[in-house]
Structures are given as C-alpha cells and as structure tokens.
C-alpha cells in the first residue's frame, strides 16, 4: 500500500517544484529571523503548572488509537499531564474517559494497562463502577451510611473518537470539539489519509528526564539529521532541507529522501514524489504524525504531572491493515526496530544530555532557534500566543 500525500490546499506539482529547487540549490524554507528562547522555559516549575492547566486543560490531545480498545468493555489506562486516565469502550461502541480514582477514599481504581471488564472494582474496599462510570456497588451499604450513588460516579473527562484516534481534554470542566480544533484543512487531511482504517501495530511509552518541549523540538527540525543520525538515517535523508506550510494552527513539513535525486529531471506535474519524502504533521500542542510511504508514525509528548523536567513520549506505529502473516509481522517488526534505534537510542539519548546540560549553573540562558528551524519557530510562536507572552 502506498500512502499518498494529501494536500487539501495546494497541489503536488507546487510541492514538487519547491522540493526540487531546494534539493538542487541546497536551500530550505526560512523564518524571517533567528529566534531567542530563555532556557528557563524548559525548567520552570511554575510555567509547567500553567502549561498543564492552560494548554492541556483546554485543548484536545490524543490518548490512544482506536484499535488499542477495539471491543465493547475494553479499557486502556494512560497517564496524561493532569490525570491518570481510564479509557473505556462502551457497549454502544463509543469511548469514554475517566479519572482513574475511586470516589470513596481516593484509591487508584485500575492498575492493569489494558483489558476488558464489565465492572471496575476498587481493591481497597470493593466499590464497583460500571463501564459508563456510574457507581454500582457499595459493600455493606447499611453500615456505610446514606449517600446518593448517582452523584458518586467516576469523574469524567471530555472525550471524542475521530479519525481512528481517541482525543481527550484533560480537564473535567472543559468541552471538546476535535473537528473545530483541527480546523477544516487538517480535519480533511486526516479523513483522506483514512487513519480510522489503520491498525496500531506497536506502541512504546518512554518516561524521560526531559521537558516535553525539549523533546517536541527534537522532532520538528531537519537541521540535525546529518549529525545526530550520522550512523543511521542520514544516509537516506537530506539534512537541512525542509518545506513548511501552516495548516490552520497546525502544520505540515516535508523532508526529502536522497532517493528524490532519481526524479529531479521529471516534470513536477507528474513526478511521483510520494515515495521520496517524509511528511511530518505537527499538531498543537504536542503531537507529530510522520507520513511514510506505506505507514504512519505517531509521536506524542506529555508533560509530567508534577515535574517540569520530566515527560512521557509515546510512539505508535500505524499500519494499513492488521499484520496477520509472518511476512507482515517481520516487515513491521523491522520498522519498529529502526524506530527504536533512531528515536529512542539517538534522539532521546541526546536530549537527556541536553536537558541535563541546561541545569548547569553557568549554562547560557539564551537559546537560539535558527531561521532554518522554521517548524520549531512556529511551535514556539503558538506557545507564546497561547500562554499570553509577548
């Protein structure tokens, strides 16, 4: 299966012309100027608290892929920036999200990461909840005392399933409208990509001593490819060549593979660029989706609920159909190993050291984002606007 590049606004011919020009001239899209960032933004505990409240308590983020809880009564437990969350597939096929805390004495309700249950029972005192979050069982009700069970269900969070992804706003007082958040162009892009038909082959969750923005920055630019990945993917991709187009508040960056050299002589109107590029879609506030020629890689960056200098990175390998044969499993296992070798072993390792280095007493407070790091500049401009910074 080949995954075409979807361009709701613009043509592939225009994209090809721009790519060919950059490759032939060793140029890249540029921001107007160099951006300066205070390194304290990656370490400030008070700013981290504000981000959890003012960003992740307001906007939808991806908590799971639909195939991670495919059947009624399946559940998936995950840590979001403000709450540990229990996602539950309902009998009618919808998904609901709850804070994973018993309403009796505040115990953690579910410890298993995944499974299937028609009742969630707290192992402390045995209070039981239905899949819809309503309170079903209070052991020894005659001695416990009178309470209104209808008012003691699990705390729900705004949740919506769209494009094969389960989105949550990590705040029970918020509302959710994923289509509005994506905007018409990005919503149409995901529809055309048919993400709802993909299958999540493998997931990885990595708790790292890194600020979430540090790690997000690492997966936005193409400037680092030649040095950070000199022993791996640098031989396959051009470094420091990238096209960027805003898609509403989100964006699309296209990085050429070196194999694009084979088609530089072809007319842009008919050049088959799909197999010679990676398109990286940046979704505010914390997700990157990499469109590869035959699959997708979904990367999310989640702030730690209590520390400014920790985060969780989740990686999902989305494939066009379930891997039912040994040949298919061999193919996707190989893809997963490559992902781990590059993202986990190279990118994460470097950024652990980067985060640690920023803690030096005399480390420079001013960090620089180059004109060629245009996607990073866009990310930080959105953060500044959202957090009310001039």
Q: Please provide residue 51's backbone torsions phi and psi, each rounded to the nearest 5 degrees.
A: -60, -40
pLDDT surpasses 80 at 70: yes
Asked if residues 300 and 307 have their Cβ atoms less than 8 Å apart, the reply is: no
> Would you state the pLDDT for residue 300?
98
pLDDT surpasses 90 at 8: no
pLDDT surpasses 80 at 96: yes
pLDDT surpasses 70 at 345: yes
Asked if residues 367 and 37 have their Cβ atoms less than 8 Å apart, the reply is: yes
Q: What are the structure tokens assigned to 101, written together? A: 């805390």
d(CA 268, CA 153): 58
Per-residue pLDDT reduced to its tens digit, 117-128: 999 999 999 999
For residue 202, the SS3 value is strand
> Would you state the pLDDT for residue 7?
65
Q: Return the HEC string of 220-276.
A: CCCCCHHHHCCCCHHHCECCCCCEEEEECCEEEEEEEEHHHHHHCCCCCCCCCHHHH
CA separation (Å) from 288 to 269, 283, 302, 314, 360?
28, 6, 12, 11, 30
> Would you state the pLDDT for residue 146?
86
Domains in the chain with CATH codes: 12-58+197-386 (3.90.380.10), 61-162 (2.102.10.10)
Looking at every residue in the chain, the average pLDDT score rounds to 95
> Would you state the pLDDT for residue 193?
93
d(CA 125, CA 68): 29
pLDDT cut 90: percent of the chain above it:
93
Mean of the pLDDT values across residues 129-137? 97
pLDDT surpasses 60 at 1: no
Asked if residues 56 and 181 have their Cβ atoms less than 8 Å apart, the reply is: no
> Would you state the pLDDT for residue 390?
62
DSSP 8-state assignment for residue 196: G
Mean of the pLDDT values across residues 70-93? 98
pLDDT surpasses 70 at 2: no
Task: Report CA torsion sign: 161, 164, 170, 176.
Answer: negative
Within 13 A of 340's CA, how many CA atoms are on the CB side?
11
Residue with tokens 């050299």, as numbered in its chain: 261
β-pairing verdict for 95-99 and 114-116: unpaired
Q: How confident is the model at residue 209 (pLDDT cuts 50, 70, 90)?
A: very high
Asked if residues 69 and 91 have their Cβ atoms less than 8 Å apart, the reply is: no
Q: How confident is the model at residue 389 (pLDDT cuts 50, 70, 90)?
A: confident
């Amino acid at each position: 299966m080949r995954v075409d590049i979807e361009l709701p606004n613009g043509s592939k011919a225009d994209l090809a012309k721009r790519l060919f020009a950059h490759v032939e001239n060793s140029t890249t899209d540029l921001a107007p100027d160099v951006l300066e960032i205070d390194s304290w933004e990656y370490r400030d505990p008070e700013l981290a608290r504000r981000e959890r409240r003012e960003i992740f308590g307001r906007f939808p983020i991806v908590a799971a892929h639909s195939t991670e809880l495919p059947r009624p009564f399946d559940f998936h437990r995950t840590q979001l920036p403000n709450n540990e969350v229990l996602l539950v597939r309902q009998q009618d096929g919808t998904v609901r999200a709850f804070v994973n805390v018993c309403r009796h004495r505040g115990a953690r309700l579910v410890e298993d990461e995944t499974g299937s249950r028609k009742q969630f029972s707290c192992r402390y005192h045995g209070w039981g909840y239905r899949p819809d979050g309503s309170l079903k069982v209070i052991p020894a009700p005659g001695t416990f005392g009178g309470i209104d069970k209808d008012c003691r269900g699990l705390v729900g969070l705004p949740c919506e399933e769209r494009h094969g992804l389960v989105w949550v706003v990590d705040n029970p007082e918020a509302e959710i409208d994923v289509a509005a958040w994506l905007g018409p162009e990005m919503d149409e892009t995901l529809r055309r990509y048919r993400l709802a038909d993909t299958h999540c082959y493998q997931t990885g969750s990595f708790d790292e001593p890194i600020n979430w923005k540090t790690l997000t920055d690492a997966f936005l630019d193409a400037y680092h490819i030649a040095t950070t990945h000199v022993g791996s993917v640098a031989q396959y991709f051009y470094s420091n060549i990238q096209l960027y187009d805003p898609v509403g508040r989100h964006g699309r960056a296209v990085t050429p593979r070196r194999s694009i050299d084979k088609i530089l002589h072809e007319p842009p109107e008919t050049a088959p660029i799909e197999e010679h590029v990676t398109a990286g879609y940046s979704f505010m506030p914390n997700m990157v989706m990499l469109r590869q020629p035959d699959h997708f890689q979904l990367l999310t960056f989640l702030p730690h609920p209590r520390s400014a200098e920790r985060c969780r990175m989740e990686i999902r390998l989305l494939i066009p159909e379930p891997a039912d044969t040994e040949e298919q499993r061999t193919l996707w296992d190989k893809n997963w190993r490559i992902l781990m070798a590059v993202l986990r072993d190279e990118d994460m390792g470097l950024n652990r050291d980067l985060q640690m280095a920023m803690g030096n007493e005399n480390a420079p407070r001013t960090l620089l984002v180059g004109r060629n790091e245009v996607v990073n500049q866009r990310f930080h401009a959105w953060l500044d606007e959202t957090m009310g910074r001039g």
